[in-house]
């Protein structure tokens, strides 16, 4: 290469390097033996940066070089702050690496301008650091300080930070962690308005459904420190009508036995456990202590434990002789305790992952079989093995006795697992014997881990499930519960079938009711259902197909297609049985004419009911003989249409009930 060209290339390379340097300023890389001129308080940060993973800590990855800020010093028990000297904000973006705990304001990185926090971010309960960028353009030319905070002593009570850089280019899309605004809480764009959600943080399985003192108690799997699964704690909310919920202080926190996995709660009316201290009976909760799911419980197994409350669930004390059941298998969990009056004892169905030595996997190890064991007790503390259910059942067992045809044909017991699939049979206090093959209860994409209120004074059995897998972009919460449904059994040619129907309390949310019967016959084509441009709706549609080959309802951009040939509704890639029903099958409805009695179904019709919230739709077919639950992210305005294809629809009518928000009392 000629010398002149070589010189030009060298000059261009140096110029490029100078420009890059001018556009990027390294604030701190934590490669030195100490923190230099940063100010340290407390004991979490030690004398200087850590060199990777600390003792007893899971492997830390994703940091640059050899050093980083790691406050897992002596475990999660230490706290403190690390604050930079003043820096001039002469570049728009501040990028850095962050990991560790996810508790807002307590395991975080803050940017302070004039001693006020203007940007903040937490980790994601992950020991792998990832890049995060703040946009500080609003504060150009001002001086700021960076503050790293560890103010948590429990699980995930540490923060991981490395490599602060100011730059004119964002390393990742700028991040802004929206603080919780109590004035606008429950009004967020993707917040469900008549389904339960936690104020903030992750939510999954409903736990401990119990009724006492005029209150419905809903406990739930909860991560109060972040919007992803982890750090399982029992959240707690109460309601007087199953619609309007008041979230209380968390009931059960992780401890040395593990994080708090699913379970149940009972009112010990007869004080069989001896926990009562006042005039009112104690509430007793049963939960799985999930060993080895937190640093404090490292190496410990799953066990079953007990806690009790003597102030209507406001405060809880864990039993000092926990666990009440030691480890029994692979991930044994989810105790569902109830009183069996004919036997005068308590019963506990419990999920167990049981090793089957007769079946080996590809590695030659025993296959794990999912089973449900039954235990009994007279005092809630000592439990005796009673029986093993012989069929495959995976986690979160539910077990209730239900009337058949309103009690006119006696009752049967219903056992289900987390998927909602169920068996109907008989129970003698120790052994459950199914009398028919397993059936499916929910045909949608998002129903899981349901539990029931089964000790209500009005003798209803009310089910609440978790609508798993929903998306709530930019929200301070994650996940929602399904709307409460009443359970019953109805006689069919195939034996008793489980019926699910929204609780009648939903009428308290109705703000308007519109009933309309479309012209007969209704020709092939598309029509917007009048009045259905409502964000929150309870919509019932009934039709007699006639020559129509398909009927399509487009609800907020989601397609529900009924096919005449298959007798099914297809939605979200799933099929839901929806055959032509008779008046005798699934008579339930919320149809009400303003001038007459309750609705009477047409003969040989299809009846579909949709509960439409901001981010979910729940479908009930033919009076609840089939159900399906779906979550979605809204893509269109709340306009709903009806399309008929392949022929005329003989008859069609609908009732639309607009709903108000349950959060606006």
DSSP for 568-607 reads: EEEETTEEEE-PPBPTTS------B-TTSSB--PPTTBEE
Report pLDDT for 362: 79
* Nearest-10 Cα torsion for 537, 542, 545, 551: 10
Cα-flanking dihedrals φ and ψ of residue 154, to 5°?
-95, -160
Report pLDDT for 588: 63
Report pLDDT for 533: 61
Give the other-Cβ count within 10 Å of 337's Cβ: 23
Give the other-Cβ count within 10 Å of 91's Cβ: 19
What are the extents of the domains in the chain? 23-167, 203-502, 510-659
Q: Rounded to 5 degrees, what angle do the CA atoms 391, 629, 230 make? A: 75
Q: What is the CATH number of domain 23-167?
A: 2.60.120.260
Averages of pLDDT over runs of 10 residues in the chain (665 residues) are: 44 40 83 95 95 93 95 92 96 94 87 93 86 92 96 89 95 66 74 96 97 97 92 97 96 96 98 96 98 93 98 97 95 97 98 87 84 98 96 96 93 96 97 96 96 96 97 89 96 92 95 88 86 80 95 91 96 94 62 48 90 96 95 76 93 92 80
Q: Of 428, 601, 579, give the one whose Cα is nearest residue 494.
A: 579
Give the other-Cβ count within 10 Å of 228's Cβ: 14
Q: Of 643, 646, 618, 645, give the one whose Cα is nearest residue 632.
A: 618
Report pLDDT for 7: 42
| Active site (annotated) includes residue 205 | yes
Same fold, 23-167 and 510-659: yes
* CA distances for 336 relative to 179, 209, 263, 632, angstroms: 37, 10, 6, 31
* CA distances for 9 relative to 17, 20, 22, 56, angstroms: 12, 16, 20, 52
**pTM of the model as a whole:** 0.75
Report pLDDT for 496: 94
Q: What SS3 state is found at 147? A: strand
Q: Which residues of 590-613 are buried (b: 16+ CB within 10 A; e: fewer)?
A: bbbeeeeeebebbeebbbbbbbbb
Q: What is the CATH number of domain 510-659?
A: 2.60.120.560
Report pLDDT for 183: 62
Report pLDDT for 603: 84
- β-partners of residue 112 are 117, 145
| Sign of the torsion formed by the C-alpha atoms of 454, 456, 458 and 464 | negative
Out of 126, 205, 554, 613, the active site residue is 205
CATH class for domain 203-502?
mainly beta
Report pLDDT for 514: 86
């Amino acid at each position: 290469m000629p010398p002149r060209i070589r010189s030009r290339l060298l000059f261009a390379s140096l110029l490029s390097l100078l420009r890059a340097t001018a556009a990027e300023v390294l604030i701190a890389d934590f490669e030195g033996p100490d923190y230099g001129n940063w100010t340290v308080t407390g004991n979490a940060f030690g004398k200087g940066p850590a060199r990777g993973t600390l003792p007893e800590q899971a492997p830390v990855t994703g940091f640059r070089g050899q050093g980083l800020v790691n406050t897992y010093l002596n475990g999660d028990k230490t706290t403190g702050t690390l604050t930079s000297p003043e820096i001039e904000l002469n570049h728009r973006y501040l990028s850095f690496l962050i990991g560790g705990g996810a508790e807002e304001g307590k395991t975080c990185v803050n940017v302070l301008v004039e001693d006020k926090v203007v940007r903040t971010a937490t980790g994601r309960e992950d020991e792998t650091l990832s890049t995060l960028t703040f946009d500080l353009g609003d504060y150009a030319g001002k001086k700021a300080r960076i503050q790293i905070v560890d103010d948590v002593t429990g699980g995930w009570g540490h923060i991981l930070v490395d490599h602060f850089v100011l730059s004119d280019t964002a390393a990742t899309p700028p991040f802004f962690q929206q603080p919780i605004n109590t004035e606008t809480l429950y009004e967020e764009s993707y917040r469900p308005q008549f389904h339960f959600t936690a104020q903030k943080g992750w939510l999954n399985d409903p736990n401990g459904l119990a009724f006492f003192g005029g209150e419905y108690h809903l406990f739930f799997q909860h991560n109060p420190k972040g919007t992803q699964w982890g750090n399982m704690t029992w959240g707690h909310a109460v309601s007087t009508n199953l619609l309007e919920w008041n979230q209380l202080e968390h009931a059960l926190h992780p401890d040395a036995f593990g994080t708090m996995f699913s379970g149940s709660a009972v009112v010990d009316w007869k004080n069989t456990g001896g926990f009562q201290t006042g005039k009112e009976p104690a509430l007793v909760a049963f939960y799985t202590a999930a060993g080895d799911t937190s640093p404090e419980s490292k190496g410990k197994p799953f066990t079953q434990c007990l806690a009790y409350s003597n102030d209507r669930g406001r405060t809880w004390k864990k039993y000092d002789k926990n666990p009440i059941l030691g480890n029994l298998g692979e991930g044994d969990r989810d105790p569902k305790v109830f009183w069996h009056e004919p036997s005068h004892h308590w019963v506990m169905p419990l999920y167990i992952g049981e090793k089957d030595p007769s079946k080996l996997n590809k590695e030659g190890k025993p296959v794990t079989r999912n089973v449900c064991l039954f235990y009994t007790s007279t005092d809630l503390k000592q439990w005796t093995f009673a029986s093993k259910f012989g069929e495959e059942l995976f986690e979160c067992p539910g077990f209730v006795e239900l009337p058949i045809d309103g009690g006119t044909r006696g009752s049967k017991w219903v056992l289900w697992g987390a998927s909602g699939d169920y068996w109907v049979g008989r129970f003698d206090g120790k052994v459950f014997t199914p009398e028919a093959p397993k059936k499916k209860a929910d045909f949608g994409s998002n129903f899981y881990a349901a539990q029931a209120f089964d000790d209500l004074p009005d003798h209803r059995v009310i089910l609440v499930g978790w609508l798993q897998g929903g998306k709530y972009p930019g929200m301070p919460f994650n996940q929602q519960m399904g709307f409460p449904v009443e359970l019953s059994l109805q006689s069919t040619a195939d034996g008793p079938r489980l019926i699910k129907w929204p609780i009648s309390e939903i009428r308290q949310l109705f703000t308007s009711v519109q009933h309309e019967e479309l012209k007969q016959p209704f020709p092939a084509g598309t029509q917007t259902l009048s009045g259905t441009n409502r964000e929150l709706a309870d919509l019932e549609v009934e039709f007699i197909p006639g020559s129509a080959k398909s009927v399509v309802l487009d609800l907020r951009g989601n397609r529900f297609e009924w096919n005449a040939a298959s007798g099914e509704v297809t939605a979200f890639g799933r099929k839901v049985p929806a055959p032509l029903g008779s008046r005798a099958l699934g008579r339930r409805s919320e149809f009400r004419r303003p001038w007459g009695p309750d609705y009477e179904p047409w003969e040989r019709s299809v009846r579909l009911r949709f509960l439409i919230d901001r981010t979910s739709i729940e479908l009930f077919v033919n009076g609840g003989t089939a159900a399906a639950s779906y979550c979605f992210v809204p893509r269109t305005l709340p306009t709903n249409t009806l399309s008929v294809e392949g022929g005329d629809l003989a008859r069609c009518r609908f009732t639309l009930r607009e709903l108000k928000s349950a959060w606006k009392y």
